[in-house]
Structure 1
Amino acid sequence: MEYLCPVCRKVLNTEMEMCSDLVHFFASWHGKKIWRIRFLNQSAYQFFSDKQLQAMAEGQPLILANAASWEKFDAATMTGTDTSGKVTSIFE
């Protein structure tokens, strides 16, 4: 899975080490709801806070290829509670 670092804008994958910018960025979201979204015609996933996603949706329609969310994000383990109630990685 490829994903875009929201800070440095590098495309990374789950097999690569996360950049330090991303580690600090995710730490600020600890305990919050997090979204992983892949926009239509884009291969890399992007991560957004619930607040960011709501603001984007108010401005214009979002055309997504895939979306998933996690409650109670744990920045230390990069996991959260998914919509089925299971604790899973945001990178799965």
Structure 2
Amino acid sequence: MEKQRLQELLVQLHEELEQTETVDERTGEVLTDLKKDIGRLVHEEVVIEDEQDGLTERLGNALDHFEEDHPKLSIVIQHVLDSLARMGF
């Protein structure tokens, strides 16, 4: 059940990332990295366990980066992190 919820959240996050406009160079870099990671997980159905090492850290860094200027995106990222935590990541 949790894996299905995580997959739904990843799809939602990917959609939010696609709609987020780049404001500065650093935001662009963070967006590009997240789009690549999440897109691979969503579209290629990569097993989460294989990607867990860096994903949680990158999402945490992105959360810090987007918290102030992109609150909706931050909320989705937090939901993904919560879901990963419930799965033991």
What TM-score do the two structures reach when normalised by structure 2? 0.33
Structure number with greater Rg is 1
What TM-score do the two structures reach when normalised by structure 1? 0.32
| Bigger relative contact order, structure 1 or 2 (CA pairs below 8 A, ≥6 apart) | 2
